[in-house]
Chain A
Amino acid sequence: MSFKKIIQGFSFTLFFLALVWSPDPLLSLWPSDGFLRMDPIACLGTWVADRRFAPLLWVTGLILLLSIVLGRFFCAYLCPMGITIDFTDHLLLCIHHRSPNKPGDNHVNHLPSRRLKYHVLAFILGAASLGVSFVFIASPLCLITRFYGLIIYPAFTFLADMGLTALRPVADRVDLTAVAYAVVKVPRYDLQWVTFISLLAIFACGLMAPRFWCRYLCPSGALLAICTRRTILRRQVSPDCTQCGLCLQHCSMDAIGGDNKADGKAEYCMTDHTECISCLACVKGCPARAVSFAFVCESAHSHPGRLPEKISKGRRRIVWAGLSGAMAAILTLTGLKSPHSDPGPGSIVHPAMIRPPGALPENVFLARCLGCGTCMQACPTNSLQPLGVAAGLSAIFSPVITPRRGPCDPGCNACGRVCPTGAIAPLPMMEKLKAKVGTARLFRQKCLAWELQKKCLICDEVCPFDAIEFRKLPGQPIAVPFVNENKCAGCGYCEHFCPVRATPAIVVEPMLAIRLYAGSYRAAARERGYSLQLGPKTGVRSSVDSGLEKWYPSELDESGLPPGFTK
């Protein structure tokens, strides 16, 4: 077990456990979005898109500063994407023989230019400069969090559930109740094929070259590479080098060697520090033990790295990439579903776009949302789902409450607590209760009570906010429901439990949702005249509590019968 694998194993375990398990003792030490916060492009891209994000930048700043000293250590040791790619590359080697690295590989194997990743970076920053975040497309941590949270974890639980189902009869027979009554909740997520295929494509690129993503595409890698041009921890090759070339074969980043032999140094002595991830594979693989890593302050004798030969052309391309990012942003902003449209008449809000409680105003929310899926993973009722293209391409993978799948539990504020960028504000419970996400709307034509005169009061029974009122109307044989929009928080219990299929008779829409950038939701709710409260029905007094007054329903009909009684 090499040093690298131990650190990788530790990082990955921490990443995965914090993401899917998130038990309290672990969370007090390590947040479930800890790795996402370290991702340079996620933070920088979000900061450019929403300048007020600055206070959360310090972790990334620290990583970038450390990489000036230690090189791209993040890629080799911390990044779960890199760790996963190392693993899948290993798997791919078993099924597909790949020719080892050779100097000047790029021309031979038709591999893209390494500068591609700078273009991706420029594209994202260009779009972000106009307030549109495309971070979710290429941030390695977003991609991999989505993969583990929304694909791998559900698959795990599915298998665990199958296993339990198989075990249950046996456990029941031997009276092992802990197993017989154990339940594994299998979460389900939308867009699973999109998530899966995009990651599969990234992994499959390993057929062309190892760590293909890290070498050619990763914008975070590009940012780190910029910082590591003059890194201090460097690969050193002693004169014992026999020019065998094994180090290059071991180097997954193809960072060794160069075409430039002008200074008379042998090519395997040269290192491209912007590409080197300090994984130490070359040290381990050198038969002559000629390779080492050491801190070198400045460099008369060491190779400065493989700089682009035609600097002007490279820069021009980067500018073009940035401009195309800006163009993409303009395309997004001029679309019908633009999140920046003015409020009021003319603005379009998709009815399914019920954002989680505490979500910032839509344009800021989309600028900050990474689409990483951490909130969806953390949602205990499986209500938060990735949105498709309903709100435009830039909003794909952003979270929406899906009451039909699961209601938003009033006693839970998990999504806000785990959001890495604060797109969903981390609200304390008292604030969260007042963060109205929408309003329920009745479809009388589908309602059992309204349309079919059947006794159904499930929506009232399950409503935690007591926002449903049953009234006896003249001409109606039974009491029928009404929604009190001032009491409705949009939690969706009514929609979730409504027995009417397929479209429920009561549906939550993002109507009247409170979206604040800053300030108190309590104050905002009070200002707008909402009374969002859990529990006891107002005006109801128990004779036990007050000892004075008894409460009888106002909806007694002409015959004086209480609800549910017949003559």
Chain B
Amino acid sequence: MKMHQSNDPLTEVISLVDRKLNRRQFLKFQLKGTLWLAAGAAGLSLPGSLNAGGVPDISVVKGNPAAATRTAVELLGGMRAFVKPGDKVVIKPNMSFVNGVENATNTRPEVVRELVAMVKEAGASRVRVLDNTLCQPKPSIAQIKDACQVFNEDIIHALTDYSFYKPTKINDKWFGFNKTDVMKDVLTADCLIAAPTAKSHHATGVSLSMKGMMGLVFDRWTMHQQGLDDAIVNLAAFLKPKLAVVDASRVLSTNGPRGPGEIITMNTIVASADMVAADAKTVEMCTWYGKRFKPRQIKHIRLAHEQGLGRMDIENLVVKQTTV
């Protein structure tokens, strides 16, 4: 009788054969078998962690935003794993809106400040925090600029003038979204770090690292014409940040990207060297419009995964969670 309770498929088969099979049981059995096979196949085709040596693919840290940011990056091997001494680094936060921290539409200033500090500690020769702001540049970046006063350096810039952009071919496709004007600073940078805030988005479901890359081009408006989700993936494939740090300390769960909407306090920072994985983990982790969603339900994340830009199958990745 003990054998009947076992979950082992083989014992189940034996037990089923022991008893008389009716049609329903047989179909159930077949379905189960198919699912097991499929799971096995998936396990074979998709490798587990890409990183050996105990470095997780995704780090999820709860706690004070600044401390959590630092810990999240350290879990991934520290900033030195991404920034080499002498590198030029561009950090791309969300700072498009004049709203304050309370609206959760911009990345928290503490997160940006911590990232800048870590990049400087890693020996970067030059750090810039850049965005092509939607709203008026000065008030939009004011809070982050204030927070970064401590560095006594002119780091934060809202580049809304065309002279800071350069027409760039972003892929070899013959048609569609294949060229755009990209920030010159980004083109010459050695390392790009995405530091979005987690928020919902009317058109793309969520606005995270990949969607945030739209803030590094001059004319983001025409991307809507190209088919927004495809355009986002095309652009992210070209810009491809080396590190994505998603500020999910306060998540704008509804009515993004401008808000105001429901804000959920998560006190969490998600970091990964794979921006798709970071985005996927954030989607899976948070509640959107009062519900839970799978990463594949966000079209641009799914497309990026399918194109091999990164991975949304977080269940197969090593996620390290901790609290500070």
Query: Is A168 an interface residue when CB atoms closer than 8 A count as contact?
Result: yes
The complex places the Cα of A181 from the Cα of B258 at a distance, in Å, of 27
Check B263 against A543 for contact (C-beta < 8 Å). yes
Check B290 against A564 for contact (C-beta < 8 Å). no
CB distance from A227 to the nearest CB of B (A): 48
Check A499 against B288 for contact (C-beta < 8 Å). no
Query: Is A165 an interface residue when CB atoms closer than 8 A count as contact?
Result: yes
Among residues of A, the one whose C-beta sits closest to the C-beta of B227 is: A454
Q: Which A residues are CB-close (under 8 A) to B57?
A: none
The complex places the Cα of A542 from the Cα of B264 at a distance, in Å, of 10
Check A565 against B293 for contact (C-beta < 8 Å). yes
Among residues of A, the one whose C-beta sits closest to the C-beta of B223 is: A499
**What are the interface flags for B190-204 relative to A under an 8 Å C-beta threshold, 1 for contact and 0 otherwise?**
000000000011111
Check A542 against B262 for contact (C-beta < 8 Å). yes
A165-B163, A183-B161, A562-B200 given as contacts; is B261 within 8 A of A454 (CB)? no
Q: How many residues of B contact A (CB 8 A)?
A: 45
Check A552 against B202 for contact (C-beta < 8 Å). no
The complex places the Cα of A461 from the Cα of B211 at a distance, in Å, of 15
**What are the interface flags for A506-517 relative to B under an 8 Å C-beta threshold, 1 for contact and 0 otherwise?**
000000000000
Query: Is A557 an interface residue when CB atoms closer than 8 A count as contact?
Result: no
Check A454 against B260 for contact (C-beta < 8 Å). no
Check B202 against A564 for contact (C-beta < 8 Å). yes
Check B154 against A181 for contact (C-beta < 8 Å). yes
Check B290 against A454 for contact (C-beta < 8 Å). no
**What are the interface flags for A155-171 relative to B under an 8 Å C-beta threshold, 1 for contact and 0 otherwise?**
00000010011001000
> Which A529-567 residues sit within 8 Å CB-CB of chain B?
536-537, 540, 542-545, 550-553, 556, 560-567
Check B134 against A461 for contact (C-beta < 8 Å). yes
A456-B228, A562-B254, A565-B293 given as contacts; is B163 within 8 A of A183 (CB)? yes
Check A542 against B204 for contact (C-beta < 8 Å). no
CB distance from A557 to the nearest CB of B (A): 12
CB distance from A173 to the nearest CB of B (A): 11
CB distance from A562 to the nearest CB of B (A): 4
Check A455 against B229 for contact (C-beta < 8 Å). yes
> Which B261-279 residues sit within 8 Å CB-CB of chain A?
261-264
Query: Is A177 an interface residue when CB atoms closer than 8 A count as contact?
Result: yes
The complex places the Cα of A567 from the Cα of B293 at a distance, in Å, of 9
The complex places the Cα of A566 from the Cα of B294 at a distance, in Å, of 10
Check B222 against A470 for contact (C-beta < 8 Å). no
**What are the interface flags for B293-305 relative to A under an 8 Å C-beta threshold, 1 for contact and 0 otherwise?**
1000111001000
Check B205 against A454 for contact (C-beta < 8 Å). no
Check A551 against B225 for contact (C-beta < 8 Å). no
The complex places the Cα of A183 from the Cα of B165 at a distance, in Å, of 13
Check A542 against B261 for contact (C-beta < 8 Å). yes
CB distance from B283 to the nearest CB of A (A): 9
CB distance from A363 to the nearest CB of B (A): 36
**What are the interface flags for A446-460 relative to B under an 8 Å C-beta threshold, 1 for contact and 0 otherwise?**
001000001111101
The complex places the Cα of A457 from the Cα of B298 at a distance, in Å, of 17
The complex places the Cα of A491 from the Cα of B178 at a distance, in Å, of 33
CB distance from B197 to the nearest CB of A (A): 15
Q: Which B residues are CB-close (under 8 A) to A223?
A: none
> Which B240-293 residues sit within 8 Å CB-CB of chain A?
254-255, 257-264, 288-291, 293
**What are the interface flags for A245-266 relative to B under an 8 Å C-beta threshold, 1 for contact and 0 otherwise?**
0000000000000000000000
Among residues of B, the one whose C-beta sits closest to the C-beta of A555 is: B202
Check A564 against B254 for contact (C-beta < 8 Å). no
Among residues of B, the one whose C-beta sits closest to the C-beta of A460 is: B202
> Which B139-197 residues sit within 8 Å CB-CB of chain A?
153-154, 157, 159-161, 163-164
Among residues of B, the one whose C-beta sits closest to the C-beta of A463 is: B258
The complex places the Cα of A545 from the Cα of B288 at a distance, in Å, of 18
Query: Is B32 an interface residue when CB atoms closer than 8 A count as contact?
Result: no
Contact of B221 among A165, A499, A537, A551 (CB under 8 A): A499
Q: Which B residues are CB-close (under 8 A) to A498?
A: 221
The complex places the Cα of A21 from the Cα of B263 at a distance, in Å, of 42
Contact of B202 among A454, A457, A545 (CB under 8 A): A457
Q: Which B residues are CB-close (under 8 A) to A540?
A: 255, 260-261
Check A564 against B200 for contact (C-beta < 8 Å). yes
Check B203 against A564 for contact (C-beta < 8 Å). yes
Check B254 against A499 for contact (C-beta < 8 Å). no
Interface contacts beyond A542-B263, A553-B254: sample of 7 additional A-B pairs, CB < 8 Å, sorted by A: A448-B224, A456-B228, A479-B202, A497-B221, A499-B221, A500-B225, A561-B297
Residues of A within 8 A of B (CB): 161, 164-165, 168, 175, 177-178, 181, 183, 185, 448, 454-458, 460-462, 470, 479, 497-500, 536-537, 540, 542-545, 550-553, 556, 560-567
Residues of B within 8 A of A (CB): 102, 126, 134, 153-154, 157, 159-161, 163-164, 200-206, 221-225, 227-229, 254-255, 257-264, 288-291, 293, 297-299, 302
Q: What are 27 A-B interface contacts by the 8 Å CB criterion?
A: A161-B163, A165-B163, A175-B126, A177-B154, A183-B161, A454-B225, A455-B204, A455-B227, A455-B228, A458-B221, A461-B257, A461-B258, A470-B202, A499-B222, A537-B255, A540-B255, A540-B260, A542-B260, A544-B262, A550-B262, A550-B290, A551-B254, A551-B261, A553-B254, A562-B205, A564-B200, A564-B205
